[in-house]
Amino acid sequence: MRAYRLNGAAAPLRLVNETEPKPGPGEVLIDLKAATLNYRDTIVREARYGGDQRADLIPLSDGAGVIAAVGEGVAQERVGERVAVGFMPRWTEGPFSAAKQARALGGGFVDGVLAERIVVPATGVARLPDSWSFAEGAAYPCAGVTAWNCLFGGGGIRPGDTVLVEGTGGVSTFALQFARAVGARVIATSSSDEKLARARALGADAGINYRDVPDWGARAAEIAGGEGVDHVVEVGGSGTLNQALAAVRPGGEVALVGVLTGFGGEINTGAILMKAINLRGVYVGSVSNLAASLRSGVRPIIDEVFPFEKADAAFERLLSGAHRGKVAIHIAD
């Protein structure tokens, strides 16, 4: 089968021919049809994701395809099922653990989905809605599940709550859509007025350009009214967290997922305790979260679909920052 392997940060991905994988007991072989990119893939490629990693990894965590064969103990009827592959296929449900995290696809020492086929546990996939494209299904495993977990994995959002989403990338666009689907109000930030207009077209109630309004946290609190926003989907990390803490109401929730501005940094710990903020780290989610998020029926925004042969161009598109929603790669018909 054909697959791409990392080849250093600056060099193009290396297209290789690999031995066909075979499913063992309890496993399924997936014919991959589409993959999508996440910010994580760019820092894995640059070996900046943290921790050791294999230098010639097959990249990307998010894929969808068709079950082509099953191993011993898996029902033969599952052949032909259209599925999305879990970001951590061994985290079926229940609590998170380091062992489950260590098996996340496309990072560390675990090959990912930028290949024609992959073998995963039969419990590591979730069914796609029939009418969805494989690119739509492949949009969910990391960005969709993370956004889902941010909004529904903690205290949960209610109709009428106000949610602040930062930027218009993969996670934030999903969060906007999920929040609107349950009748919450959404305030979006972006570096671009054009992207804010598109966020409003998707249902955002208000937008703030974070380049023009440096204290966008206070501005979001003002727009929300009352004591501030109820939830923040915090994708920026240390460079944005203090604004998120300014935006959220006392007793509100900040779901911390992002590292766009780095992994370390100064945090206003005083605000966290004086406002009794629920600051919650989120690391994607389980296969059961994937299945639940797919059942939402929220169709992802696909920015652009690149052919398999132009995988490097898909990375460039994500790195350009011009994308909105998910950048996808078509692997096979």
One of 133, 192, 286, 289 touching ligand NAP (CB under 6 A): 192
What is the number of alpha carbons within 13 Å of residue 178 lying toward its C-beta? 31
CA proximity to 87, closest of 128, 136, 53, 36: 36
Q: Which stretch binds ligand NAP (CB under 6 A): 50-58, 96-104, 244-252, 256-264?
A: 256-264
Site for ligand NAP in 71-100 (CB under 6 A): none
One of 24, 191, 197, 274 touching ligand NAP (CB under 6 A): 191
Number of H helices, E strands in the chain: 11, 15
**Residue with smaller CB distance to ligand NAP, 69 or 149:** 149
Q: Which stretch binds ligand NAP (CB under 6 A): 20-28, 65-73, 152-160, 280-288?
A: 280-288
CA–CA gap between residue 195 and residue 217 (Å, rounded): 19
**Residue with smaller CB distance to ligand NAP, 117 or 240:** 240
| Least Cβ distance, residue 34 to ligand NAP (angstroms) | 16
Binding mask 36-55 for ligand NAP (x = CB under 6 A): --xxx---------------
300 binds ligand NAP (CB under 6 A): no
What is the number of alpha carbons within 13 Å of residue 117 lying toward its C-beta? 18
315 binds ligand NAP (CB under 6 A): no
**Residue with smaller CB distance to ligand NAP, 1 or 96:** 96
CA–CA gap between residue 104 and residue 114 (Å, rounded): 14
Neighbouring CB atoms inside 10 A of 281's CB total 10
One of 220, 259, 314, 329 touching ligand NAP (CB under 6 A): 259
Site for ligand NAP in 117-176 (CB under 6 A): 142-143, 146, 166-172
By CB under 6 A, the count of residues binding ligand NAP is: 33
321 binds ligand NAP (CB under 6 A): yes
| Least Cβ distance, residue 164 to ligand NAP (angstroms) | 11
Which pairing describes strands 82-85 and 125-127: parallel, antiparallel, or unpaired?
A: antiparallel
Binding mask 223-242 for ligand NAP (x = CB under 6 A): ------------xx--xx--
- What dihedral angle (degrees, nearest 10) is formed by the CA atoms of 120, 122, 124, 130? 110
Which pairing describes strands 62-70 and 2-5: parallel, antiparallel, or unpaired?
A: unpaired
What burial letters (b/e) apply to 191-220, b meaning 16+ CB within 10 Å? Answer: ebeebbebbeebebbbbbebeeeeebbebb
H-helix segments, the chain: 39-45, 98-101, 134-138, 145-152, 170-181, 193-201, 216-224, 238-247, 269-274, 287-295, 311-320
| Least Cβ distance, residue 253 to ligand NAP (angstroms) | 15
| Least Cβ distance, residue 48 to ligand NAP (angstroms) | 11
CA–CA gap between residue 158 and residue 151 (Å, rounded): 10
CA–CA gap between residue 254 and residue 112 (Å, rounded): 30
The answer to whether residues 138 and 330 touch, using CB atoms and an 8 Å cutoff, is no
**Residue with smaller CB distance to ligand NAP, 162 or 173:** 173
Nearest-CB residue for ligand NAP: 169
CA–CA gap between residue 136 and residue 259 (Å, rounded): 25
One of 74, 128, 163, 318 touching ligand NAP (CB under 6 A): 318
Query: Which residue ranges make up the site for ligand NAP (CB under 6 A)?
Result: 38-40, 142-143, 146, 166-172, 189-192, 195, 210, 235-236, 239-240, 257-261, 282-284, 318, 321
